[in-house]
């Protein structure tokens, strides 16, 4: 068994924590998150043009092909733009159910020189093939551990984080089984867990209580998508009291419309207000940020903001709004280093 403790694991192998640099903690580079059954089989992709790019980006799930990122040449260009703007590491959280592509991620890491950290485990049940749903907790746990220690079954490329672990709106029995397996795998490997919570303001706290009940470590757990889940800062602060890591990962989405729920999404300015409150509340060491890009129209190639948006646009906005350089480095480098280092 490889010695992981004190190291960070990328698709190209282990690195020292000091080599992490500025890190995007929740992205998708090669994936397919098209809702199952959304389009008839074989329906061609819709070409993205100047005339329709706004509409496709606004209703991002309604257009065939937009939720599929499978063009490696485009990915190389997108990643190089991020690198030119200061990004050094990207955590790629396309877990099973999202068409994970380990070999493609390694090719991209080799082409760009970026650190790419791959996730493992299972996404929400709706996206999973029927045959996996009869797996036991022990079988799922063994699969996650093997993914980290020996590498994915077909490629041998190792994961460096568990997740994103899917919790759908009904948080199904199978999804709870996966979470319990992830907790056991966390204890065995020392990896962190990233959680995709269901869309309810109390989801984060309920999931953390479940993790605590089954022996998991909240301080090694990330609750993603806070910006579409919790809208009052008092509730965010209550979640932070648990010790878990709070991730605002919709940076760059500047529209209030959200296709999965009748809510008003915040913009980047509101996200920063929430983060400021967390920092003022003493939770600086638990805050993470990212874009969660998973559609073509959020890539620069197709008119979007790309993986460079946080470094290029959000960091200057943070400075204008009184965030110190130390706080920015903590959010983009120090916190990711702590979480991604195996313990």
What values do phi and psi take at 205, rounded to 5? -70, -40
Q: Please state whether 120 falls in left (phi above 0), alpha (psi between -120 and 50) or beta.
A: beta
pLDDT band at 255 (very low <50, low <70, confident <90, very high): very high
Residue 2 has pLDDT above 80, yes or no: no
- Domains of the chain with CATH codes: 8-340 (3.20.20.140)
The answer to which of 8-12, 34-38, 77-81, 274-278 has the lowest mean pLDDT is 34-38
Q: What is the pLDDT of residue 153?
A: 79
Where does residue 270 rank: exposed (0-12), middle (13-18), buried (19+ CB within 10 A)? Answer: middle
The answer to which of 113-117, 129-133, 206-210 has the lowest mean pLDDT is 129-133
List pLDDT tens digits, range 53-100: 999 999 999 999 999 999 999 999 999 999 999 999 999 999 999 999
Taking the C-alpha atoms of residue 204 and residue 197, their distance in angstroms, rounded to an integer, is 6
- Mean pLDDT, the chain, integer: 97
List pLDDT tens digits, range 24-62: 999 999 999 999 989 988 899 999 999 999 999 999 999
Nearest Cα neighbor of 251 from 317, 193, 192 is: 317
pLDDT band at 1 (very low <50, low <70, confident <90, very high): low
Q: What is the pLDDT of residue 182?
A: 99
What values do phi and psi take at 251, rounded to 5? -55, 135
The mean per-residue pLDDT over the stretch 107-135 comes to 96
List pLDDT tens digits, range 288-336: 999 999 999 999 999 999 999 999 999 999 999 999 999 999 999 999 9
pTM metric for this prediction:
0.96
Residue with tokens 């460079």: 308
List pLDDT tens digits, range 138-168: 999 999 999 999 999 788 999 999 999 999 9
């Amino acid at each position: 068994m490889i010695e992981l403790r004190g190291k960070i694991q990328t698709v190209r192998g282990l690195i020292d924590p000091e080599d992490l640099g500025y890190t995007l903690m929740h992205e998708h580079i090669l994936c397919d998150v098209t809702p199952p059954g959304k389009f008839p089989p074989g329906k061609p992709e819709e070409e993205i043009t100047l005339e329709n790019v706004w509409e496709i980006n606004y209703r991002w799930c309604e257009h065939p092909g937009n939720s599929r990122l499978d063009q490696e040449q485009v990915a190389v260009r997108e990643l190089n733009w991020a690198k030119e703007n200061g990004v050094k590491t990207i955590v790629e959280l396309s877990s099973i159910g999202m068409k994970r592509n380990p070999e493609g991620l390694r090719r991209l890491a080799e082409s760009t020189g970026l650190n790419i950290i791959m996730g493992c485990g299972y996404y929400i049940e709706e996206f999973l093939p029927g045959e996996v749903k009869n797996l036991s907790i022990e079988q799922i746990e063994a699969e996650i551990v093997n993914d980290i220690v020996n590498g994915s079954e077909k490629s041998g490329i190792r994961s460096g984080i568990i997740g994103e672990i899917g919790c759908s709106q009904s948080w199904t029995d199978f999804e709870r089984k996966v979470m319990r397996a992830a907790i056991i795998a966390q204890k065995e490997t020392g990896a962190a867990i990233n959680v995709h919570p269901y869309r309810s303001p109390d989801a984060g706290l309920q999931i953390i209580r479940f993790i605590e009940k089954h022996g998991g470590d909240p301080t090694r757990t990330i609750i993603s998508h806070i910006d579409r889940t919790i809208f009052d800062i008092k509730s965010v602060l209550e979640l932070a009291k648990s010790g878990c890591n709070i991730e605002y990962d919709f940076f760059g989405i500047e529209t209030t419309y959200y296709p999965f729920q009748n809510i008003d999404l915040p913009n980047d300015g509101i996200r920063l207000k929430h983060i400021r409150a967390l920092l003022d509340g003493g939770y600086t060491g638990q805050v993470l940020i990212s874009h969660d890009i998973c559609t073509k129209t959020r890539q620069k190639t197709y008119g979007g903001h790309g993986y460079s948006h946080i470094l290029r646009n959000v960091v200057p906005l943070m400075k204008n709004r009184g965030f110190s350089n130390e706080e920015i480095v903590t959010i983009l480098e120090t916190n990711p280093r702590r979480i991604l280092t195996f313990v």
